[in-house]
């Protein structure tokens, strides 16, 4: 098994302090994506929750079971923080160097971090805060060679970063010199990221014990609520707050071309998996769903990250490059107006970007010894 935690740490930028809103008592929540539906089952919303699952993806009994679920930290595989984080040498981390002041190449490391665990062959099964497990992320089912695992994982990570950072440049979430105070890295559940005090995992692979027809699950507002308070509902640092079931994603139908997700097409695979990751992690920081029709994204015509087939997002849009919405309506909640880009700022906050040779820094790659931008396998 590859040691991924030291393979793909993202850059750390100076943190900008923000005041936390008063903690509010809220109903625990759960978000789910089915093959033809991404259903908000309960959330930090005042409107009634629509539980109708379309296209017959789930039976009434399965729906009732899922509706009864709430996040439970005791169900999650645990990765407690290191009591005294080690400082790897340059030789251990490729071009990145931990310094005594707690930075990597002079960049602060301690920022809210989401660790993406792409399950390697041979890696043990793990469990999320709902008790759902994952096993190996089988890239061969998507039409790739087994040796393309790193290529696919890094492409997906890069697109998640595009969703949360690059595509938001010029918006309230990407003003000059600042971006969202969050980071995404690749790592292994069970291995805490050194130098980071608040981190959570999302497991990515074949579902184990997951409801049939489900693309992904996550705990709504478990990391941050709309006011920026968190973690919530008893969730602990190091918990697995979401799951992405790649065996369900590869089975998406009604696509053009029909073999878009089984032919080894890196772009289609990247968008399908990264869109689900960005969507589910959006739920963990308070975002609800949004109608595709009428939504406005930074790039005109782009499908919304928080779109859902339960409203009007068809599967074809899931293999396109999705973006967070500047504005739109949530058809599951009385067409309540949403501004997801602003809501990301409210929930996560902004911090300063430390420039490097006049460019923004993101994506310090550990073990990138050949400089090709990909983490190397150990």
Q: pLDDT-based confidence at 70, cuts 50/70/90?
A: confident
> To the nearest whole percent, how much of the chain has pLDDT over 70?
69
List C-alpha distances in Å: 54 to 147, 171, 232, 310, 312.
Answer: 37, 34, 30, 6, 11
Helix (H, G, I), strand (E, B) or coil at 13: coil
Lowest pLDDT segment from 11-15, 219-223, 340-344, 361-365: 11-15
Q: What is the pLDDT of residues 293-325, one digit of tens each?
A: 999 999 999 999 998 777 788 899 999 999 999
Express each pLDDT in 114-130 by its tens digit. Answer: 999 999 998 999 999 98
Query: So what's the pLDDT on residue 213?
Result: 73
31 band by pLDDT with thresholds 50, 70 and 90: low
Model pLDDT for residues 73-106, shown as the tens digit of each residue: 999 999 999 875 444 443 333 344 444 444 544 4
* pLDDT range class, residue 63, cuts 50, 70, 90: low
Distance CA(159)–CA(166), nearest Å, equals: 9
SS3 156: helix
**Closest residue by Cα to residue 142 from 264, 260, 320, 275:** 264
pTM of the model: 0.79
Q: Is the pLDDT of residue 145 over 60?
A: yes
* Spatial CB neighbours of 325, under 8 Å, sequence gap ≥ 6: 290, 295, 296, 297, 304, 305, 306, 338, 339, 340, 341
C-alpha 342, offset from chain centre? 18
More confident residue, 143 or 354: 143
Closest CA to 44 of 330, 303, 350: 330
* Alpha-carbon torsion (367, 372, 377, 378), positive or negative: negative
Q: What pLDDT score was predicted for residue 60?
A: 54
Q: What is the pLDDT of residues 166-181, one digit of tens each?
A: 999 999 999 999 999 9
3-state DSSP call for residue 135?
coil
Three-state secondary structure call for residue 200: strand
């Amino acid at each position: 098994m590859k040691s991924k935690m030291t393979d793909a740490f993202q850059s750390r930028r100076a943190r900008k302090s923000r005041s936390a809103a008063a903690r509010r008592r809220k109903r625990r929540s759960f978000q789910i994506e089915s093959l033809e539906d991404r259903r908000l089952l309960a959330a930090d919303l005042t409107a009634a929750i629509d539980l109708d699952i379309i296209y017959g993806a789930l039976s009434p009994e399965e729906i009732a079971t899922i509706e009864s679920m709430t996040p439970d930290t005791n169900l999650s595989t645990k990765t407690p923080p290191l009591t005294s984080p080690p400082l790897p040498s340059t030789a251990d981390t490729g071009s990145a160097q931990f310094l005594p002041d707690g930075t990597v190449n002079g960049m602060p490391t301690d920022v809210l971090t989401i660790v993406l665990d792409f399950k390697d062959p041979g890696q043990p099964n793990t469990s999320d805060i709902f008790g759902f497990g994952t096993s190996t992320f089988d890239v061969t089912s998507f039409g790739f060679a087994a040796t393309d695992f790193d290529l696919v994982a890094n492409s997906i990570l890069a697109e998640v970063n595009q969703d949360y950072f690059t595509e938001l440049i010029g918006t309230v979430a990407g003003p000059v010199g600042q971006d969202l105070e969050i980071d995404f890295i690749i790592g292994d559940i069970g291995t805490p990221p050194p130098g980071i005090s608040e981190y959570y995992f999302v497991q990515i692979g074949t579902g184990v014990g997951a409801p049939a027809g489900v693309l992904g699950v996550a705990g709504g507002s478990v990391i941050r609520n709309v006011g920026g308070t968190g973690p919530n509902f008893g969730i602990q640092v190091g918990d697995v707050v979401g799951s992405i079931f790649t065996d369900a994603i590869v089975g998406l139908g009604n696509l053009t071309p029909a073999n878009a997700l089984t032919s080894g097409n890196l772009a289609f695979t990247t968008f399908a998996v990264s869109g689900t990751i960005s969507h589910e992690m959006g739920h963990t920081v308070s975002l609800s769903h949004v109608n595709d029709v009428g939504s406005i994204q930074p790039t005109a015509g782009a499908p919304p990250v928080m779109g859902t087939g339960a409203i009007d997002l068809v599967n074809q849009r899931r293999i396109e490059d999705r973006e967070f919405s500047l504005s739109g309506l949530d058809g599951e909640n009385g067409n309540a107006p949403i501004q997801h880009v602003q809501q990301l700022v409210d929930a996560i906050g902004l911090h300063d970007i430390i420039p490097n040779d006049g460019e923004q820094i993101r994506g310090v790659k550990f073990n990138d010894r050949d400089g090709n931008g990909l983490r190397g396998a150990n």
